[in-house]
Structure 1
Amino acid sequence: MNIVIIEDEKPAARLLTRELEKLGFTVQHILYSVSEAIPWFVQHEQPDLIFADIQLADGLSLEIFEQVDLKSAIIFVTSFDHYAIKAFKLNSIDYLLKPIEPSELLGAINKYKAQHSISPSKVQELRESIGGTSYAKRLMIKVGMQIKMVLVDEVVCFYREDRGVYISTVEGKIHLLEEGSIEAAIKMVNPEKFFRVNRSQVVCIDFIEQIVQLSTSRLKLSMKNYKEEVIVSRERVSEFKSWLAEN
């Protein structure tokens, strides 16, 4: 059985590894963050079983399962209070409470084969139960044959070109997104910060430098370090103005 641990606390990861080894299992790999885990799962064969701490230093481990289609069985490890534990039970998601008891660890492993992978709807239900909607902090990009990460806070805009979706960063760099559709990409980011101004462009409010009224029904935007023309479509102007006022 291939086992992967996702845990940002190295002592806790080592302890869980030792307990698993006592039971005769070998840990294939330990991942310490969301940003490390996403590209690792993209590039490697999926394990049979994943032990994942919910709260990592750079975000919720749920972000990993939202961005990577994993078929592995997942057991969450958590220090959350009883209210959050109730959320796990209500959503029929297996969990272990820190500090992990060896008998409970063995019990969780014994039933892992009957546990299905967690569907996107289950991930969303759990996220809402433990604290509301959270949005991606990083986006996967293609650099040659490699998959790398870009912080969402650095994204000036998304745009569709040919059959690909690209991002332009505050540094003026252009990257091809791993995600293949602009509709799916914008679902990952905060709608308070990003707005789809037309069919092919989504802009970040933080990097709008100038707004020019072209007519009563169209607006032109100047974005930081993005040279392409950005026009707010006629049917979106009213909603765009409301979005600006609210955010």
Structure 2
Amino acid sequence: MKVLIIEDEISASENLAYLLGNIDETIEVVEVLDSVKASVAYFGQPRDIDLVFSDIHLADGLSFEIFDQVKIDSPIIFTTAYDQYTLKAFKLNSIDYLLKPIDEEELSASLKQFKGQVKREGLVDDQVTGLLNLIKTQNKTYKTTFLVSLRDELIPLPIDQLAYCYIDTGVVKAKTRNNQIYSLDKKLEDVENELNPEIFCRVNRQFIICKNAISNIKYYFGGKLIVNVLPPFEERIIISKAKAPEFKKWMDS
């Protein structure tokens, strides 16, 4: 079986080649490529490769960029150090992966699974697009401060001081944990995109709430929820029946 390794860490590629040889002496590592550029050039010509092992982060970019530029018909197993959330997305996209550091038993099981399938194809366009978007989302950075106006000054408002943001007579305002209120020269949609969704949730059209600012949640009629926050807000913050399951899942994460 002819195998190609795409990996920019020499020790990692040597270890993978060693493990493959231990598992099956008939496996031939025909090439080790260390970059997107080298891989695109290599697959610019027809290649007889049975299986590709590819790391995600390479010296000059993400390995998914390779498959976005050239067609690779060989099946691919990714080697990755990503967290469990991302790995679930790999599974949903029917992508094989091995978590680093690579375990010989897991590698052996993956090879057996590969050999046991009559036919396997490379990545299709939808998978490439989906995984590229996934990685970009995982690598996204979020705001650590908002620059806000206070009388005749501009002051930095640390995000970790935010309790919630809301719309008040068309103006987006932010309330801090110590009950200070500031106006934000932004749309609430823009604020939502700039905050970490693991910490902040857009609960309805008017509110974005920090998880740590929620004191309790009460059931409301029709399957809705009422969220109580600290500092308290003078009006009810209501979550619709449709959004309630997603909100509870976010709170329980």
Deviation at 1:3, TM superposition (A): 0.3
Query: Hey, what does 1:111 align to over in structure 2?
Result: 113
SS at match of 2:136: coil
Structure 2: stretches of 5+ with no match in the other structure: 140-253
Query: Hey, what does 2:14 align to over in structure 1?
Result: 14
Deviation at 1:84, TM superposition (A): 1.5
SS at match of 1:77: strand
Map 1:204-219; keep pairs closer than 5 Å: none
| CA pair 35-133 structure 1, distance change in 2 beyond 3 A | farther
What percentage of aligned pairs have identical amino acids?
44
Distance in 2 (CA, whole Å) between partners of 1:40 and 1:92 is 25
Q: In the comparison of the two structures, how many residue pairs are matched?
A: 134
Distance in 2 (CA, whole Å) between partners of 1:55 and 1:110 is 26
| CA pair 84-133 structure 1, distance change in 2 beyond 3 A | closer
Deviation at 1:43, TM superposition (A): 3.0
Pick aligned residue for 2:36 from 34, 37, 42? 34
Equivalent AA in structure 1 for residue 33 of structure 2: L
Query: Hey, what does 2:155 align to over in structure 1?
Result: none
SS at match of 1:27: strand
Deviation at 1:133, TM superposition (A): 11
Deviation readout 1:157-213 (Å, 9 max, x if unpaired) = xxxxxxxxxxxxxxxxxxxxxxxxxxxxxxxxxxxxxxxxxxxxxxxxxxxxxxxxx
Question: Are residues 1:124 and 2:129 paired?
Answer: yes
Distance in 2 (CA, whole Å) between partners of 1:43 and 1:72 is 13
| CA pair 132-46 structure 1, distance change in 2 beyond 3 A | farther
Deviation readout 1:217-237 (Å, 9 max, x if unpaired) = xxxxxxxxxxxxxxxxxxxxx
CA contact (8 A) 1:76 1:95 kept: yes
Deviation at 1:42, TM superposition (A): 1.2
Q: What is the Cα-based RMSD across aligned positions, in Å?
A: 1.8
- Segments of 4+ moved more than 6 angstroms: none
Query: Hey, what does 2:152 align to over in structure 1?
Result: none
Pick aligned residue for 2:94 from 92, 95, 99? 92
SS at match of 1:130: helix
Structure 1: stretches of 5+ with no match in the other structure: 135-247
Q: Tell me which structure has the larger Cα radius of gyration.
A: 2
CA contact (8 A) 1:46 1:70 kept: no
Deviation at 1:127, TM superposition (A): 1.5
CA contact (8 A) 2:33 2:39 kept: yes
Equivalent AA in structure 2 for residue 122 of structure 1: Q
CA contact (8 A) 1:127 1:133 kept: no
Pick aligned residue for 2:67 from 54, 65, 68? 65
Deviation at 1:130, TM superposition (A): 2.4
| CA pair 43-133 structure 1, distance change in 2 beyond 3 A | farther
Deviation at 1:131, TM superposition (A): 2.0
SS at match of 1:45: coil
Distance in 1 (CA, whole Å) between partners of 2:135 and 2:92 is 12
| CA pair 133-43 structure 1, distance change in 2 beyond 3 A | farther
CA contact (8 A) 1:74 1:118 kept: yes
Equivalent AA in structure 1 for residue 106 of structure 2: E
Query: Hey, what does 1:220 align to over in structure 2?
Result: none
CA contact (8 A) 2:80 2:99 kept: yes
